[in-house]
Amino acid sequence: MKELIIGTWNVSECVGTKWDVREGIASDDRSFSVFSAVEQIARKINDCHADIVCLQEYPITQNDHSMITEFIRSHTALPYFYGIDTYPSFLMQNGRIGIAVFSRYELTDCEYHPFINPGISKLSRSGKVYWSFDKGLITAKLTLGKTPLTLVTGHAVSFSPFDTKAEDYPESFREIENRAKAHKGENLVIIGDFNTENLFSILPALSSYVSDVLEGATTVAGLMEGEVFDGGRKLDYCLVSRGISSVKTEKLDNFSDHLFCLCHLQIREENEV
State residue 31's pLDDT score. Answer: 47
- The predicted pLDDT at position 223 comes to 62
pTM: 0.92
pLDDT tens-place string over residues 158-181? 898 788 999 999 999 999 999 999
The yes-or-no verdict on residue 26 having pLDDT over 80 is no
Given a cut of 50, is residue 30 above it in pLDDT? Answer: no
Which tens digits make up the pLDDT trace of 66-82?
778 999 999 999 999 99
- The answer to whether residue 226 scores a pLDDT higher than 90 is no
Give yes or no for a contact between 107 and 141, defined as CB atoms under 8 angstroms apart: yes
What pLDDT does residue 22 have? 54
Rounded to whole angstroms, the Cα distance separating 172 from 168 reads 9
9 residue type, one letter: W
Show me where the domains of the chain are located: 2-267
Q: How many CB atoms lie within 10 A of CB 253?
A: 9
Residue 239: alpha-carbon gap to chain centroid:
13
Please tell me the distance from the alpha carbon of residue 129 to that of residue 82, in angstroms, as a whole number. 31
Residue 65: per-residue pLDDT:
72
CATH of 2-267, one of 3.60.10.10, 1.10.10.10, 3.40.710.10, 3.50.40.10: 3.60.10.10
pLDDT at 202 over 80: yes
